Chain A
Amino acid sequence: MNEQHHIISYRKLTGIWLALLALTALTVGITRIELGGYKVLGALTIACLKSGLVIAVFMHMKYEGRLLRGLLFLALMTLAIFIGFTFFDVLYR
Chain B
Amino acid sequence: MTHPQHKDYAGAKLGMWLFLFTEILLFGGLFLLYSVYLRRYPHEFAAGGKQLNWIMGTANTAILLTSSLFAAMSVTAVQRDELKRADGLIGGTVICAAGFMAIKYFEWSAKIGHGIYPGSEHLKAGPPGESVFFSLYYITTGLHGIHVVIGAVLLAWIAAKVKGGTVNAGDYILLENGALYWHLVDLIWIFIFPLYYLIL
A1 to B199, CA, bound (A): 46
Asked if B76 and A39 make an inter-chain contact with CB atoms under 8 angstroms apart, the answer reads no
Chain B contacts for A47, CB-based, 8 A: 190-191, 193-194
Chain B interface residue bracket vs A: 35 or more
| A-contact bits for B173-200, CB 8 A (1 contact / 0 none) | 0001001100100110011011000110
Q: Counting CB contacts under 8 A, is B162 at the interface?
A: no
Chain B contacts for A55, CB-based, 8 A: 183, 187
- Chain B at the A interface: mostly helix, strand, loop or mixed? helix
B171–chain A nearest beta-carbon distance, Å: 6
Chain A contacts for B80, CB-based, 8 A: 7
A17 to B68, CA, bound (A): 8
- Chain A at the B interface: mostly helix, strand, loop or mixed? helix
Asked if A8 and B187 make an inter-chain contact with CB atoms under 8 angstroms apart, the answer reads no
Chain B contacts for A28, CB-based, 8 A: 54, 58, 198
Given A20-B65, A24-B65, A68-B13: A44 in contact with B194 (beta carbons within 8 A):
yes
A3 to B129, CA, bound (A): 55
Chain B contacts for A21, CB-based, 8 A: 62, 65
A67–chain B nearest beta-carbon distance, Å: 7
Chain A contacts for B1, CB-based, 8 A: none
Chain A contacts with B in 16-45, Cβ cutoff 8 A: 16-17, 20-21, 24, 27-28, 31, 39-40, 43-44
For chain A, the count of residues having a C-beta within 8 Å of the partner chain is 45
Chain B contacts for A50, CB-based, 8 A: 190
Chain B contacts for A39, CB-based, 8 A: 198-199
Asked if A58 and B61 make an inter-chain contact with CB atoms under 8 angstroms apart, the answer reads no
17 CB contacts below 8 A, A to B, read A1-B9, A8-B75, A13-B73, A17-B68, A27-B198, A28-B54, A28-B58, A31-B194, A47-B190, A50-B190, A54-B183, A58-B71, A67-B14, A71-B21, A83-B28, A83-B31, A86-B32
CB-CB nearest 3 A-B residue pairs? A75-B21, A43-B194, A31-B198
Besides A5-B79, A71-B18, 11 other A-B contacts (C-beta < 8 A): A13-B72, A16-B69, A31-B198, A47-B191, A54-B68, A54-B183, A60-B75, A75-B24, A79-B24, A79-B25, A83-B35
